[in-house]
Structure 1
Amino acid sequence: MDLENLNKNQLILLALLVSFVTSIATGIVTVTLMDQAPPGVTQTINRVVERTERIIVPQKSEQPAQVNNIVIKEEDFIVKAAEKNSANLVIIGYPKKKSSLLQGLAGDAQKIEIENVGTGFVIQESRVVLGDKSQLPEDQNEFIVTTLGGVEFTARRATTTDESSPITVLEITSSTLTEGATEPFSSVSFADTAETRIGQTAIALGADDDLQLLLGVVSRLERAAAGEGENGSRIVKIHTTMDVDRRYSGGPLLNTDGAVLGITIAADGAHYVVPARYIEELLKGKQSTHKEGEPLVNKGGKDLDIQ
């Protein structure tokens, strides 16, 4: 066949035929080479093809998740810290004298007149009351502690291994003296004294006729002298910006988590906080002076020994 004698249409058909045959031959050669090629080459080609598909056909976009911003104020933490510990705040007093209250039907029922002397804080787990030793009479060992809700308990001074401590420890020696009342105390958590930082928020709780609160920050950390416990790094006193008075002395100093940083002491014109770590050690060395089965005051208003 002479190509020169082909017309235009025949030349086009011939070109298409040659292209078709060439494509088939190329496909056969490619498949043959792929079957004979090492696995690494095949994987590379497959990844290129897969990546190309991803670029050409993008994935459907997902709806963005809705974000709700919750604003938590510091005052919310302060309120919760006060609520958590206020049930353990008590007023410490001692029996001053007894006067007849009821006659006849009540028989020997008597009213105990109480002289309130200070604020205390109850550690429920140990059934003890912590207070400022300077506020309590030295010759008085038997006390009445009253919650802010009016529930009364008897307590007796306990012996500790550190008699020089500014904190006194009273041991609760009776069930509630208030008819029909139950113990309102809640569990107490102590903060890690080593984690106390200057500038952190501090909350002081006190008691008068009702709950008192002061807000400030930790202003100074007084540490042991060099060579006295842990190379002088041990915190022995915490100072704050608050000007506390006797209403707060014996009460707790809290952080915003409601944990106890220490017990406030206000004596001789100075005020500071005894750290929680020292208090925990003091409680471990407490020696009970109350004998089991020997209540100080029986429920129902029986007589109380007065010194």
Structure 2
Amino acid sequence: MNAKPTNSMSRSIKQFGLYFGLLVLGGTVGLTASQYLRQDDPPPNVRLSPIEPIQLPESSSPPSTPPLENTSFIAKAAQTVGPAVVRLDAARIVSRKEQKPFYRRFFGEESPESERRRVREGSGSGFIFSSDGLILTNAHVIQDADEVQVTLKDGRSFEGVVVGDDSVTDVAVIKIEAQNLPTVTLGNSEHIIPGDWAIAIGNPLGLNNTVTIGIISAIGRSSSQVGVPDKRVSFLQTDAAINPGNSGGPLLNAQGEVIGVNTAIRANAEGLGFAIPIEKAIRIANQLVTTGKVDHPFLGIRMVTLSPSVRKEINESSSIDLAVEAETGVLVVGVIDQSPADQAGFREGDIILKVGGEKVENSIKVQQAVEDSTIGEDLKVIIDRNRNRKTLTVRPGKFPLDDE
């Protein structure tokens, strides 16, 4: 006689059936998913090809002189002129007596002293303008230097000798004992106009052979306009970066010719750089090479460029009486006692109209005309004095320097 299943047994059988059905369903889903995910897998007996690494183009060692084809005019100029640009490290040996505290305590200011030496260094740039080792730079780069080390772009180093320096134009020449050196090609600054390209090469902040690019911003900037009234230079202005260390380096035109000598004379001139025109720099350099010094012509007058507003201000604030309708010119506002101008008869209030036969419209032109004259030789100056023209003959003297 078969026993009738109990309720608990019936529930167990139902649960088992449910679990078994879920297990079968899960296995089916898993198998299907596995086949789906593996449908892109290669057959078990197929080997994958190894991944090939990317091959970079083969490169050869760079040539000693990079080719200039297909490069910009800036790169061509830098590669051509760069070998002739040098780094200058100037040192001044200073003797200093240092009093020892032990002796000062007992003997006061008359105590025994020990002497020590220290070196104050500065650096700048220069460029070779003669293959036998003549280098042009700024006078302030090597000023008061006892030693000058010259380093070429190829790494060679030489001891430099100061041939001469001229603080009035900030030009100096250095000589090194070497031959067949690379040289720059000199250009013509008189043909450039604002907007022309300007390329500067130098060693700013110790970063050798740095190239910067800009344009000629202005020409004929007077020393007073630039903020260095003690200089006798009509500067080129550029927006090519010229920083400390660039001083003495070349300013180039688009053809790679030197048109100026860079000078970092204004520490606060952000975005502005100045250069000495190459004609002026070379003329001074030749005098330094020949005689070791430069004597600048000197008249001994203080002057101001006339304009309607200047005339009005002078008439209202001084004893000088200027006619409003007077010709343009340069007003003499002071004459130095015992100067060549004083001896020639110049007076305060004279209006300079011509110097050496050339008409002068401003004080810059007068300064240039005097600079181009010869010390000790007659120079004709036409003036207007009290509405009457007179011709004065002056013999320029030697420009007085502070250290003389």
Question: Could you tell me the TM-score, scaled by structure 1's length?
Answer: 0.53
Q: Is 2:143 the partner of 1:145?
A: no
Residue 87 of structure 1 corresponds to which residue in structure 2? 83
Q: Is the 8 A contact 2:77 2:255 kept in 1?
A: yes
- Displacement of 1:119: 1.5
TM-superposed deviation, 1:224: 6.6
Offset from partner CA, 1:151-197 (integer Å, 9 cap, x none)? 0112111225x54121222122x23xxxxxxx673232211122111
Structure 1 residue 278: deviation in Å?
Answer: 0.5
Residue 273, structure 1, aligned to residue 271, structure 2: no
Deviation at 1:114, TM superposition (A): 10
Asked if 1 retains the 8 angstrom alpha-carbon contact of 2:92 and 2:145, the reply is no
Give the deviation of 1:127 after TM superposition. 2.5
Q: Which piece of structure 1 moves more, 203-212 or 246-255? A: 203-212
Q: Which residue of 2 aligns with 1:245?
A: 243
Residue number among 185, 190, 195 corresponding to 1:189 in the alignment: 185
Instruction: Report the alpha carbon displacement of residue 273 of structure 1 after superposing the two structures with TM.
Output: 0.5
Query: Quick one: distance in 2 between partners of 1:84 and 1:194?
Result: 23
**Equivalent residues of 1:205, 1:212 under 8 A apart:** yes
Alignment of 1:157 with 2:159, yes or no, is: no
> Which sits farther off after the overlay, 85-94 or 124-133?
124-133
For 1:120, which of 123, 126, 142 is the aligned residue?
126
What is the distance in 1 between the residues matched to 2:150 and 2:289?
A: 20
Residue 73 (structure 1) shift: 10
Contact conserved, 1:148 with 1:209, CA < 8 A, in 2?
no
SS of residue paired to 1:247: coil
Residue aligning to 2:364: none
Change in Cα spacing, 1:159 to 1:206, as seen in structure 2 (3 Å) is closer
Residue 262 of structure 1 corresponds to 260
Deviation, structure 1 residue 142 = 3.5
Query: Which SS does the other structure have where 1:80 is aligned?
Result: helix
TM-superposition CA deviations, 1:108-146 (whole Å, max 9, x none): xxxxx994521221213463222222233x332441100
Which gives a bigger RCO, structure 1 or 2 (Cα 8 Å, sep 6+)? 1
Aligned to 1:134: 140
Summarize the Cα distance change of 1:74–1:200 in structure 2 as closer, same or farther, 3 Å threshold: farther
Q: For residues 29-73 of structure 1, what are the alpha-carbon distances to aligned partners after superposition, in whole Å with 9 as ceiling and x for unaligned? A: xxxxxxxxxxxxxxxxxxxxxxxxxxxxxxxxxxxxxxxxxxx99
Question: 2: distance between equivalents of 1:96 and 1:274?
Answer: 26
| CA 1:159–1:254: 2 relative to 1, 3 Å | same
Structure 2 counterpart of 1:286: 288
Question: So what's the TM-score if we normalise by structure 2?
Answer: 0.41
1:128–1:169 contact (8 Å) kept in structure 2: yes
Tell whether the 8 Å contact from 2:195 to 2:217 is kept in structure 1 after alignment. Answer: yes
Q: Spell out, residue by residue over 1:243-301, the C-alpha distance to the aligned partner (whole angstroms, 9 max, x if none).
A: 320132211110111100111000242441001111221122123689xxxxxxxxxxx
Distance 1:238 1:94, change over 3 A: closer
Shift in alpha-carbon separation, 1:274–1:153, aligned structure 2, 3 A:
same
Which contiguous aligned blocks of 4+ residues in structure 1 show a shift greater than 4 angstroms?
A: 72-75, 113-116
Unaligned 5+ residue runs, structure 1? 1-71, 98-112, 176-182, 226-234, 291-307
One-letter amino acid of the structure 1 residue matched with residue 210 of structure 2: Q
| Aligned-residue RMSD, C-alpha | 3.3
Aligned length: 186
Counterparts of 1:163 and 1:156, CA distance in 2: 17
Q: Which residue of 1 aligns with 2:175?
A: 171
Following the alignment from structure 1 to structure 2, what is the Cα–Cα distance between the partners of residues 288 and 152?
A: 26
- Describe the shift of the 1:209–1:169 C-alpha distance in structure 2 as closer, same or farther (beyond 3 A): same
Residue 159 of structure 1 aligns to a residue whose secondary structure is strand
Q: Is residue 141–residue 157 contact of structure 1 (8 Å, CA) maintained in 2?
A: no
Q: Secondary structure of 2:289's partner? A: coil
Query: Quick one: which amino acid aligns to residue 160 of structure 2?
Result: A
Deviation digits for residues 205-250 of structure 1 (CA, Å, limit 9, x no counterpart): 112343211110001011679xxxxxxxxx9211012232013221
* 2:83 counterpart letter in structure 1: A
Counterpart-to-counterpart distance in 1, 2:260 and 2:167: 18
Counterparts of 1:219-230 in structure 2, within 5 Å, are: 219-222=217-220
The answer to whether the Cα contact below 8 Å between 1:157 and 1:169 also exists between their aligned partners in 2 is yes
CA displacement at 1:74 relative to structure 2: 10
Distance 2:218 2:71 in 1: 23
Aligned-residue sequence identity (percent) comes to: 24
